[in-house]
Structure 1
Amino acid sequence: MPSSDVVVIGGGQAGLAAAFYLRRAGIDHVVLDARPVPGGAWPLTWNSLRLFSVARHSSLPGWPMSPFPDGYPTAQHVVDYLTAYEKRYDIPVQRPVQVREVGRDEHGLLVHTDNGTWSARHVVSATGTWWRPFRPSVRLPGRQLHTVDYAGPQEFAGRKVVVVGGGNSGAQIAADLLPHAELTWMTRRPPRYMPDEIDGKALFDIATRHGGVGELGDIVAVPAVREARDSGLLVATPMDDGVLADADAVLWCTGFRAALGHLAPLRLRAANGRIAVDGTTAVEEPRLHLVGYGSWTGPASATLIGVGPTAKATVAKIAASLA
């Protein structure tokens, strides 16, 4: 049975940030990634997706992302950056390795995969949320898709499409579909745009100082969204069951949940679906650490710029334990 001081589950941005600090601390570690290629979930996003920040404010620890000529980087630019980051720091990623579950024995934690079992003194779970989309249980005659299923507008040309969701994904996808489909954008309440000068760097600063950005709004006005909004064409309407039923396709931009199924054998999840943490360390299993799942595992920790501080703090705690 192979063993490592630390097994990191997930080779996306959170896993790479953790590996950076583990490498710097000289701690033996391995990263197990289910994807066949680098980049985490970024290669699976829609073609027109843009980050909320320019490249210099969208970087992992140690090495800045290269500038993007048009301001806000595309998803492919992020994939290229994460691929190069992995090579630059010689991060020990094994892929594709699917982690099935994490359990315990008398010596530590056991990470069971489709390619054998690893023994670990500590486990960093960095699987994110993309793999667990929230899909409303609604019966409709047309196609139903989620953000994760959307690649671009071409397949919806000339069709009646309803985009549901008042967050960034809903606004960006609705703007993307506008020139191609007979679009209806539905939100539970009127869209709340953040001030146009707000970007991801400002959001990170506010989140780390004040613990949340909800008062500012829900949507960052990236250029495509701003243009569609200012043209008067990107207009949200209230939820309407009749319009939903008449649509050729409904795109649910309704968010995600933490992908924690592999941790089920540890029996740590509370009624709200989360695991109680002290920082990023599981309260009832201090050898388990959760990095990059959102505000409950650190301010802005599900973002490129925000995951670094929580990854650093996590590794410092692991290093102290191993010492």
Structure 2
Amino acid sequence: MTSIPAVRVRGRHTDVLGAVLRTAGWTVVPDGPADAEVTGHADGIRAQCAGTTSWLADQAQLGRWARTAAVGPPLRAGNAQVGAVLEAAAGIGPFFAVQAGPPDGDGWTALDAPGLATLTDTVGERIGAAERRVAASIMFQGLASRLLSPVLAGLAHGVVLDLDPAAVFVRSRPGEAMALTCECPGGWLAPELDVRLVAEVLLEQQLRPLLETVAADARVAPGLLWGNVASALVGALRVLGRDPVAARAVSGLLAHGPLVGTWEVGPAGFRRRSCCLYYRVPGGGYCGDCALLPRGSASRPNLW
């Protein structure tokens, strides 16, 4: 006898979405691990099952998806599991912290094209960058670090955190770490490390759309921005103190798709093949893993 798949419904219009899914033969559960997760957004529906994510325009598309979706591992993590991972990550430091819930108070910016442009302008003004591409690179490196750090931390708990950019808001204030809040933080259960899943969630779903938007807006080379991601991965791993699961994940990610060719291991360790442009900021200089440093000079150590 085939078991009835379980789905969790979140976000907007949960009653309506739940009714569509029940009609298609799903059991709607309030929490706990589930075969799938459906989240209602203002501009569509996000449906996730078996390690894949689909964006659906309306209830009719959701009904078709529900009748044809292939059910299988990995399962979606429950709210309590995701909350525990977020709490543990926040305990590592401010760069690993993500709030759960809608923006509370002023100063929050959505990660859409206007929001990313505003963040670039804010960072450029703060650091005195005369070139917008410099401001965009510095902003994106900080944003990428904030998005990927909690994901790496969560792997030790058997969860691949899923911070949907459409539900993430950023607050950048002078003298403070960039803050993140996510309206509907989620995750995939992964008791054993699955680098393919981590790459799909982190690099393709979370970072790629943001990177392409920033690259187009500020006319900065995508390869440079992917180099920022590689550098941020190694930087987060240093903070995690050689955590074996995170180390294997970083090693696998650096050998994946857009990060291939963005780095090398030199005499002094990890070294990127591009420059984040920080040296063009007034009073700036070269990072420890910069491609512009003489070979053999101080760099980030090889951590994997």
More helix by share: 2
Is this a same-fold pair by TM over 0.5?
no
TM-score by length of 1: 0.26
TM-score by length of 2: 0.27
